Structure 1
């Protein structure tokens, strides 16, 4: 079975990443060496992935500065720092040992990069009390108009919040370079989570975890293809309380039958938007007096719409016992809007990515991120649990 491996070389104050397809060490006796050697040098810009293929049978070892970094048929190299790195390829075949030398030259990029989000590709929130407010909806806006509003909110250093609504609501965004998968955590997603001063658990408060998906643009077509998405396996991923392929459908309400004033308040749940899931459950998203606009996106004309993805265990509970103080527990790692922006838990490691079977994958880096609300819960006076995203950036970019 072929699998991917990842190797790190620490050089000075930065890291180099090498990823490749592991070649089997078993070969037939009549395997022959059919390789024309390496080029004198390879040149690549910072934050770009360089692919070098040995295109031969045998036991292969790639080395940088005399340090073995991979035993692979193909080497994928990415660096966030300018420099020249001696490269050695050793191939053992039928008792013969062949050694090839080259170097990799990493140059400053010709484009102007930013560590922040540079594009927003999709925005489709689920129902929620902040829909139409963040970002603002203007009567007559289309889905494309709201996507443009999400772009204005999230792109660049001066980003602001967008709501994803209840479970499943999502946003997809990208960067102008590949964020490298280096040692440690690689990128940060910003949200509006905070820990409550009165919370008994010091890591509880307003925490609304969102599931993170990542994609490496392997075919270089400038968009995330379906087969390029992988889920970040956070602290709850392998627990039996986490539901994979959870699906929920929201039904458009008759706004004329919903009270908009009078006895609405924090302590009174007003059944508003009906939902059902693929586990046979049904329920309602509630409405409160502080948000009287439609919670169902008005630019979506369908009578219902559906989301599917990983669902986390409910994380909010009534600490007061009287409904007066609800708090959301922060999960340990691996989710968006799960901890304050200054907390390590808002930093994400690309090496946590898994495929649909829950098997870890080894990516050289990522170009795109998708976040969807991971909780389907009504938290009393707080209302629905809804992930908010207010930006993201590359932790390696200097």
Structure 2
């Protein structure tokens, strides 16, 4: 037998351990029991079908002559509406049992969208575009700002929201499971661009955001804490990347007199205080280009915090005089890191890792979280802040 080419036939099985028992039939008194397969299973396309067995031994799931999984639980997804002949073979202590069934993949009644269908959370960090992108109006609550983020990001005509400095995030979902097929699976849109005058050809306005993904395994319609995995981009395993980095931002006194800057672009050099879990502290400055509050005005807290993976600072003063700052893009695996037309803005679900940095095999994903991955002030450009302007399924037909 040969392993199947997932992309060509549009199916995937995920190598995860089953947790729900099927019908029972005694195979061996000392082992788990299994009562065979149903005559058929039905599932809409772009949704995951789970067939747990709790069987032990040498397990092989196949379609025709192609092996699709060797785990106790089959997790299957197809982008095509068709019927697949399914065979399960179990060899346990020399005894071989073979079961036959079929998977009927149906077309959804209401057409799916390849774009973001829901925004679940929006909690930006401080920054020069906060209270502006999206717009805050007096009296708005966190729920109001979430609705504005939804208006910005849902559907094909999406536009950017700013996540502010390190840790600021947005969580969104889709109306189907984006399958983990061969190659890259989904794209996150941002507003990154490469500068024509940059010495490095892949540098410019690049503000990398960390990407987290979640597969809704328990089908409760929300991303649970134990379902999140980080996309291990090109910097993940480098010693310049800090895991479990935490930062706290403190609400500023907006009425105090501005402190004149030394470079002409600052109006308050000691504007928003921050401190991190490494013993560092500093200030986010206010610049002449954005005079509104940089602290989310819908938050009543005197401070708030974020924790996540921090990337090495990527902006540098190419001019040497403070007049031209550029941000270097990283190779792959981040949001708002390259222009939307660049291949590096496409993400492969197979890059997902668990909390210990071990790669996991997900059948697909239902939710995405993006947060700003850098804590840096870049001269007159201001804080490095990831923007998200939409996302979509690359496999969608």
In which range does the TM-score fall when normalised by the shorter chain? over 0.9
Q: Would you say how many aligned residue pairs link Structure 1 and Structure 2?
A: 388
1:232-381 matches, cutoff 5 A: 232-259=231-258, 265-266=264-265, 270-381=269-380
Q: Deviation at 1:261?
A: 9.1
**Structure 1 residues 59 and 124, CA gap change in structure 2 (3 angstroms):** same
Spell out, residue by residue over 1:341-365, the C-alpha distance to the aligned partner (whole angstroms, 9 max, x if none).
0111111111111111111111111
**Is residue 127–residue 297 contact of structure 1 (8 Å, CA) maintained in 2?**
yes
CA RMSD of aligned residues (A): 2.1
Partner of 2:227: 228
**Structure 1 residues 270 and 109, CA gap change in structure 2 (3 angstroms):** same
Q: Deviation at 1:270?
A: 2.3
Partner of 1:158: 157
> Is the deviation greater in 85-94 or in 334-343?
85-94
Q: Distance in 2 between matches of 1:384 and 1:302?
A: 22
**Is residue 42–residue 104 contact of structure 1 (8 Å, CA) maintained in 2?**
yes
**Structure 1 residues 8 and 197, CA gap change in structure 2 (3 angstroms):** farther
Q: Deviation at 1:277?
A: 0.4
Q: Distance in 1 between matches of 2:32 and 2:296?
A: 61
Partner of 1:394: 393
**Structure 1 residues 262 and 307, CA gap change in structure 2 (3 angstroms):** closer
Secondary structure of 2:130's counterpart equals: coil
**Structure 1 residues 180 and 140, CA gap change in structure 2 (3 angstroms):** same
Q: Are residue 132 (structure 1) and residue 131 (structure 2) matched? A: yes
Q: Distance in 2 between matches of 1:122 and 1:81?
A: 32
> Is the deviation greater in 208-217 or in 255-264?
255-264
The normalised TM-score by structure 1 is 0.93
Spell out, residue by residue over 1:136-170, the C-alpha distance to the aligned partner (whole angstroms, 9 max, x if none).
11111111111110000000000010000000100
Q: Distance in 2 between matches of 1:224 and 1:29?
A: 38
Secondary structure of 1:21's counterpart equals: coil
Q: Distance in 2 between matches of 1:244 and 1:200?
A: 30
**Is residue 7–residue 181 contact of structure 2 (8 Å, CA) maintained in 1?**
no
Secondary structure of 1:115's counterpart equals: coil
Q: Deviation at 1:258?
A: 4.2
**Structure 1 residues 280 and 11, CA gap change in structure 2 (3 angstroms):** closer
**Is residue 125–residue 164 contact of structure 2 (8 Å, CA) maintained in 1?**
yes
**Structure 1 residues 8 and 220, CA gap change in structure 2 (3 angstroms):** farther
Partner of 2:5: 10
**Structure 1 residues 263 and 239, CA gap change in structure 2 (3 angstroms):** closer
**Is residue 211–residue 373 contact of structure 1 (8 Å, CA) maintained in 2?**
yes
Secondary structure of 1:356's counterpart equals: coil
Q: Are residue 190 (structure 1) and residue 189 (structure 2) matched? A: yes
Q: Distance in 2 between matches of 1:292 and 1:267?
A: 11
**Is residue 267–residue 323 contact of structure 1 (8 Å, CA) maintained in 2?**
no
